[in-house]
Structure 1
Amino acid sequence: MKSLIVALSFLTRLPMPRVEADAGDFADAIRWYPAVGLALGAIVALAVWAGSWIDPWIGALAGLIAWVAVTGALHLDGLGDLADGLGAAHGDRGRMMSVMTDPHIGSFGVVAIIVQLLAKLVLLHAGIHWTALVLIPFAARIGPLFWARWLPPLKPGLGASVASAVRLRDLAGWTAMWAAACLLFPPLMVAPVTLLGWAWWLKARIGGISGDSHGAGIEWCETALLFVSIAASRL
Structure 2
Amino acid sequence: MKGLVIALQFLTRLPMPRVHADEQDFAQSMRWFPAAGLVIGALLAVAAAVGLLADSWTAALCALLLWVWVTGGLHLDGLSDLADARGAAHKDRAHFLAVMADPHVGSFGVVAIVLQLLAKLVLLHGVVEIGDLVALVFIPFAARIGPLVWTLCLPPLHAGLGARFANGMASRHLLLWPFPLGASALFCQPLLAAPALILLWSWWLKRHVGGVSGDCHGAGIELVETGLLAGVLIARHL
Asked if these proteins are the same fold (TM beyond 0.5), I'd say yes
The whole-number CA distance in structure 1 between the counterparts of 2:215 and 2:161 is: 10
Instruction: Determine whether 1:163 maps to 2:166.
Output: yes
Range 59-68 or range 160-169, more displaced: 160-169
**1:172 aligned to 175, 183, 187, which one?**
175
Question: Does the CA-based 8 Å contact 1:93-1:206 persist in structure 2?
Answer: no
Instruction: Determine whether 1:146 maps to 2:149.
Output: yes
**1:91, distance to aligned residue in structure 2 (A):** 4.9
Question: Does the CA-based 8 Å contact 2:163-2:213 persist in structure 1?
Answer: yes
**2:196 aligned to 164, 188, 193, which one?**
193
Give the equivalent residue in structure 2 for 1:111. 111
- The alignment partner of 1:90 has SS state of coil
The whole-number CA distance in structure 1 between the counterparts of 2:146 and 2:182 is: 14
Q: Render the CA deviation track for 1:82-128: whole Å, top value 9, x for unaligned.
A: 00001112151111110011111000000000000000000011124
Range 217-226 or range 22-31, more displaced: 22-31
Structure 2 unmatched ranges of 5 or more: none
Give the equivalent residue in structure 2 for 1:23. 23
The whole-number CA distance in structure 2 between the counterparts of 1:94 and 1:213 is: 17
Q: Which one-letter code corresponds to 1:132 in the other structure?
A: A
**1:183 aligned to 186, 195, 200, which one?**
186
Q: Render the CA deviation track for 1:4-58: whole Å, top value 9, x for unaligned.
A: 1110000000000112222212111101000000000000111011101101111
Calculate percent identity across the aligned residue pairs.
57
Give the equivalent residue in structure 2 for 1:122. 122
Q: Render the CA deviation track for 1:169-197: whole Å, top value 9, x for unaligned.
A: 32111112111111221111111110000
Question: Does the CA-based 8 Å contact 2:79-2:109 persist in structure 1?
Answer: yes
**1:234, distance to aligned residue in structure 2 (A):** 1.5
Range 70-79 or range 128-137, more displaced: 128-137
Question: What is the TM-score with the length of structure 1 in the denominator?
Answer: 0.97
The whole-number CA distance in structure 1 between the counterparts of 2:232 and 2:185 is: 12
**1:158, distance to aligned residue in structure 2 (A):** 2.1
RMSD: 1.0
Question: Does the CA-based 8 Å contact 2:27-2:165 persist in structure 1?
Answer: yes
Structure 1 unmatched ranges of 5 or more: none
Give the paired residue count: 235
Range 103-112 or range 85-94, more displaced: 85-94
Question: Does the CA-based 8 Å contact 1:40-1:137 persist in structure 2?
Answer: yes
**1:70-89 → structure 2 map (5 Å cutoff):** 70-89=70-89
Question: Does the CA-based 8 Å contact 2:154-2:212 persist in structure 1?
Answer: yes
Q: Which one-letter code corresponds to 1:155 in the other structure?
A: H
